[in-house]
């Protein structure tokens, strides 16, 4: 009986045994109860330990996912800014210290205009998951730590409303005001800090130095609608002008801030309610010079890859090194999907799309950069004499050359063949096919909840748009993006335009959607104002991409990705599915320099008052980061650029600091562009 009890260990059997057993059996029962209880406790403890081990594994996976999501979100917008501290540690290397000894003093008030992602954002109202974060940073500074503590909550509060492009219900995130808001994008990653310290050395402080903070996620006009940011900027410039003895202001925008301030130039003179009502002479009265740093006047191709697949070269390289990690269903990272869901609510991303279509960026068989690409095998540049192209004040000229010209005009190619074959050997344009599929778009119910807009597309339509041997130029890719991201494009294209104006006198160009496109607006009537295009050169910069369909056909997965298996031969500019051209690592020379080199040079229909423009290029020199770096963000600490800004702020003109300084092939590129001026 006891042996049966020990073998079966069932409570109902125990009860019957007690009623029918002798006292000796009763002792055995009690002993059995003890053994049974001990074994049950052991079993529970083992289950708890197993659960703990499982929780530990789950936690590790989640932490890995959060870290990856953070990294990819930063890479998506910034592509790994490199920190350096040499300027801080060696104050004697600051150009301001030397210039101050020479007697240089600040004269003109200075306004700094940050670009995308470089300004801090703080929480003013949020959901219950954000308790304790009132007026704490969500972006910039230490705000990224919230991604590890409450990742989904953090992402939700950084997203905008998918239909209005403004605040979602119950959430208010606002820009951090003042210089503190954009001096560092993250601990150790400076943006404006080095320049501000140099300006302080020659006498600048709060009364004559201002950071024009704005919410870089919004469309430019919506920063005025929601926050009155443009009105605040106008009032601040007027106040600084009066408070500093009627000295005109020097404005220093960076990256996307260049397009934002271009929008402001048109807004400030436009009558209310659409504009600021300053009148046609406002800019001439208040602004001395605009020193544009790393200007993305004509957009950047990597904005296309970011919208299409939330990728750039860094993400593509990681995918090649660790295939399957980003798409792992086991770990559940979905890092790129998270990035895409958030960033597609930011209208500002569309402002960075290439402007000017095939006229500027090239068609299927031509581009302005033909024969000017980088040589990865030799890592050096051919040098021409300073007399080439009548370049003044240039000690050398850099030209990237390879044997075969790259068809840069094909910004997106599906398959390597589509990027190299003559257009006559490729399928005809799929524009009509895409528009037809867009009209018959149906929700893919098999995917359940739609994580991205790709989940609302049929697998067949995805296959057709990304079929091998199809290529898209700066004109046709907009139809592709309108199909794969209709909500974003419908919303954002009400605020931005990317074409070329036929007749700038047409009243339609008085609408704000055209104001940030230099090819669809006229500069103000300010003949004494100066405009500088200041940017780095000599760094391979993303120009076009080779794509493929993703190997995974599962729902809730991005169906396209850069084909990192595609490389060129020695001397080719094709590396891991990305074609590179000359630039500052983020903005190609073509986008940064064309307007100052040709579009606005002299009196043109885009510059009717003949504002003087200057191309100021800064040559990349080793080390890749430091006081001589010219990368898109690192250049903010470049001593040559800082010296130029200080001299302009102290009253120097463009001619007095040396006029044009050109190392790249921007003049030849500009001449190859057939644009009516």
pLDDT in tens, 223-238: 999 999 999 999 999 9
| 89 pLDDT more than 70 | no
Between 54 and 640, residue with greater pLDDT: 640
Quote the Cα angle for 266-249-116, to 5°: 60
| 90 pLDDT more than 70 | no
255 is catalytic: yes
88 is catalytic: no
Q: Is 383 helix (H, G, I), strand (E, B) or coil?
A: strand
Instruction: Write down the pLDDT at residue 530.
Output: 98
The mean-pLDDT minimum among 241-255, 501-515, 540-554 falls in: 540-554
Region 106-128: mean pLDDT is 94
Between 120 and 68, residue with greater pLDDT: 120
Among candidate residues 32, 632, 664, 670, the one labeled active-site is 632
CB-CB contact of 465 with 473 (8 Å) = no
pLDDT band of residue 442 (cuts 50, 70, 90) is low
pLDDT 10s digits, 282-307:
999 999 999 999 999 999 999 999 99
| 270 pLDDT more than 90 | yes
pLDDT band of residue 339 (cuts 50, 70, 90) is confident
Among candidate residues 255, 423, 629, 670, the one labeled active-site is 255
The helix (H) or strand (E) run that includes residue 348 is helix 348-351
Instruction: Write down the pLDDT at residue 66.
Output: 54
Region 419-428: mean pLDDT is 86
Region 427-454: mean pLDDT is 59
CB-CB contact of 299 with 352 (8 Å) = yes
What pTM, to 2 d.p., does this model score?
A: 0.84
pLDDT 10s digits, 372-409:
656 534 433 333 333 344 454 444 444 444 445 689 99
CB-CB contact of 81 with 189 (8 Å) = yes
SS3 per-residue string spanning 417-439: HHHHCCHHHCCCCCHHHHHHHHH
Among candidate residues 455, 584, 634, 660, the one labeled active-site is 584
Instruction: Write down the pLDDT at residue 74.
Output: 54
Region 192-206: mean pLDDT is 94
328 is catalytic: no
pLDDT 10s digits, 506-528:
999 999 999 999 999 999 999 99
pLDDT band of residue 69 (cuts 50, 70, 90) is low
CA-nearest of 542, 615, 656, 643 to 202 is: 643
């Amino acid at each position: 009986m006891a042996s049966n009890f020990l073998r079966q260990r069932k409570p109902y059997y125990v009860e019957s045994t007690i009623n029918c057993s002798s006292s000796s059996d009763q002792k055995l029962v009690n002993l059995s109860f003890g053994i049974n209880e001990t074994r049950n406790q052991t079993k529970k403890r083992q289950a708890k330990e197993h659960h703990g081990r499982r929780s530990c594994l789950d936690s590790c996976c989640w932490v890995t996912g959060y870290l990856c999501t953070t990294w990819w979100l930063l890479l998506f917008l910034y592509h790994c800014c490199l920190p350096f501290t040499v300027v801080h540690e060696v104050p004697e290397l600051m150009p301001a210290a030397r210039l101050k000894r020479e007697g240089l003093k600040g004269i003109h008030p200075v306004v700094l205009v940050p670009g995308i992602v470089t300004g801090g954002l703080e929480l003013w109202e949020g959901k219950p998951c954000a308790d304790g974060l009132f007026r704490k940073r969500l972006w910039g500074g230490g705000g990224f730590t919230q991604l590890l503590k409450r990742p989904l909550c953090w992402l939700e509060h950084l997203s905008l409303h998918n239909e209005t492009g403004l605040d979602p219900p119950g959430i208010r995130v606002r820009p951090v005001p003042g210089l503190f808001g954009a001096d560092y994008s993250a601990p150790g990653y400076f943006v404006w800090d080095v320049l501000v310290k140099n300006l302080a050395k020659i006498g600048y402080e709060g009364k004559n130095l201002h950071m024009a903070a704005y919410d870089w996620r919004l469309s430019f006009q919506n920063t005025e609608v929601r926050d009155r940011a443009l009105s605040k900027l106008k009032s601040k410039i007027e106040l600084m002008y009066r408070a500093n003895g009627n000295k005109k202001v020097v404005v220093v925008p960076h990256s996307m801030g260049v397009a934002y301030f271009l929008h402001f130039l048109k807004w400030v003179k436009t009558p209310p309610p659409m504009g600021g009502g300053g009148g046609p002479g406002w800019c001439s009265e208040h602004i001395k010079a605009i020193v544009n740093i790393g200007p993305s006047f004509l957009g950047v191709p990597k904005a296309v890859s970011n919208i299409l697949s939330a990728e750039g070269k860094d993400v593509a390289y990681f995918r090649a090194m660790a295939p399957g990690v980003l798409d792992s269903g086991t770990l559940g990272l979905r890092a790129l999907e998270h990035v895409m869901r958030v960033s597609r609510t930011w209208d500002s991303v569309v402002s960075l799309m290439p402007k000017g279509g095939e006229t500027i960026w090239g068609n299927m068989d031509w581009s302005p950069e033909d024969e000017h690409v980088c040589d990865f095998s030799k890592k050096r540049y051919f040098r021409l004499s300073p007399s080439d192209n009548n370049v003044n004040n240039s000690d050398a000229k850099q030209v990237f050359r390879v044997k075969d010209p790259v068809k840069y005009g094909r910004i997106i190619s599906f398959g390597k063949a589509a990027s190299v074959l003559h257009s006559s050997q490729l399928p005809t344009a799929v524009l009509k096919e895409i528009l037809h599929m867009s009209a018959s778009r149906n929700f893919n119910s098999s995917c359940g909840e739609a994580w991205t807009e790709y989940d609302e597309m049929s697998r067949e339509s995805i296959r057709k748009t990304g079929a091998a041997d199809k290529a898209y130029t700066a004109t046709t890719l907009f139809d592709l993006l309108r199909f794969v991201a209709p909500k974003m494009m419908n919303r954002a294209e009400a605020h931005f335009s990317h074409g070329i104006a036929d007749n700038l006198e047409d009243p339609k160009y008085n609408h704000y959607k055209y104001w940030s496109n230099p090819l669809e607006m006229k500069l103000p009537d300010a003949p004494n104002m100066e405009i500088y295009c200041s940017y780095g050169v000599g760094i391979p910069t993303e120009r076009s991409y080779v794509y493929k369909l993703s190997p995974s056909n599962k729902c809730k997965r991005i169906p396209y990705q850069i084909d990192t298996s595609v490389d060129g031969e020695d001397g080719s500019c094709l590396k891991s599915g990305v074609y590179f051209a000359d630039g500052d690592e983020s903005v190609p020379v073509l986008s940064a320099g064309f307007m100052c080199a040709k579009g606005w040079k002299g009196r043109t229909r885009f510059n009717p008052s003949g504002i003087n423009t200057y191309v100021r290029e800064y040559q990349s020199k080793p080390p890749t980061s430091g006081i001589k770096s010219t990368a898109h963000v690192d250049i903010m600490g470049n001593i040559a650029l800082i010296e130029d800004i200080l001299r302009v702020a102290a009253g120097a003109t463009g001619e007095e600091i040396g006029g044009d300084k050109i190392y790249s092939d921007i003049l030849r590129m500009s001449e190859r562009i057939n644009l009516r001026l």
